[in-house]
Homo-oligomer: A and B are copies of this chain.
Amino acid sequence: MGKGRVTVIDIAKAAGVSKSTVSLVLQASPLVNESTRTKVNAVMRELGYVYNRGAANLRQANARSKIIGIVVNDLTNSFFAELAVGVDTVVQSAGFVQFLSNTSESIDRQREVIASMREHGVSGLIISPARGTEAIDLKPLVMAGIPVVLVVRNIPGAKVSSLVSDNHAGTFAAVEHLAALGHSRIAFVGGFPDTAVFDERLGGYRDAMSKTGTGFQEELVVSSAPSRAGGVDALARAMAMPEPPTAAVCFNDAVAFGVCDGLRARRIEPGKDFAVVGFDDVIEAKTTVPALTTISVDPQGIGQRAAQMLLKQINAGKPEAESAVSSVRLIVRESCGAAMNKPGRKMA
């Protein structure tokens, strides 16, 4: 039948009105008569009309597209997958659609995908930056007036909004909790030292160690890749010390799972002979055995909140940078040894 796609002019012809009227119907304008509206709508359905946002967007230079972009540094980490889900739910109900790209921590890739998204005319961007991203990388975006919300990792000097977890408070609370359970040799395990997130989490650990009187000791900081495999590796180094730790505050949940794996391989039962605390509260933390005591940051919630911040900026016209800190809380489960309902527990 119809060769090309069906356009508003086709609808206009078929309904016996002008294209302008059809356009008004599309925008649900109150100017158009009820009877014509219904007729036009009927014709649209009949001919299988699909709105061409590209064309519309071209005309209205002011109001930008209904697209937001989200770029994350590691989508295979379920933390970021959940974050993306959170973003998706709110942008979807605001009538937006999201471009999602994964950079795998590559700065080059990140630059490419951001450029590509700009070409497609995104209205705003939520970015969890790759390691090593600098303020200058975001410069073009702010110059172009494109709202940006940084999540998870902040970038000093960048004039954009950010939403990060209260990392300092999280590890601080973890240490306090372990100290209250009687531990004094508490290690800080996992993570790459050259990131802001690492510094913040380590800072909370350090301050809490000083405050509880046990004091901060450099040797108890064992860094590694922030992954499950990294956790296994770091634990091995920690247990090789002359006086090994009896508890670990981990950089994130992935590391914590790795630590548990490593402990088991040594016939040490996490939650009984050794206390483990994670960070993130990923979805598996609750159901794994032993259930992981961890710092809850609610990835979906962060995604939702970031999306709301972004939409606010988009609607405001003038992007007003805003920094928010997402509060965290300690979720006590079994891996720290504090569970009440498990028989036969004993701590080292």
Residues of chain A at the chain B interface (Cβ within 8 Å): 4-5, 48, 50-55, 57-58, 61, 65, 67, 75-76, 78, 81-82, 84-85, 88-89, 92, 95, 97-102, 109, 112-113, 115-121, 140, 143-144, 228-229, 232, 257-258, 260-261, 264-265, 283-284, 287-289
Contacts and interface: CB of A to CB of B under 8 A. Distances in A.
Contacts of A261: 287-289
A88 B143 CA distance: 28
A261 B260 CA distance: 14
Given A113-B97, A120-B53, A289-B260, A75 B85 contact: yes
Contact of A119 (B51, B75, B113): B51
Nearest to A80: B81
A84 B284 CA distance: 20
Number of copies: 2
Contacts of A113: 92, 97
Contact of A121 (B52, B76, B82, B85): B52
A97 B81 contact: no
A113 to B, nearest CB: 7
B92 A85 contact: no
The 9 closest A-B pairs by CB, nearest first: A81-B81, A100-B100, A54-B54, A228-B287, A261-B289, A264-B289, A51-B119, A53-B119, A88-B102
A54 B121 contact: yes
Contact of A97 (B51, B99, B283): B99
A265 B112 CA distance: 49
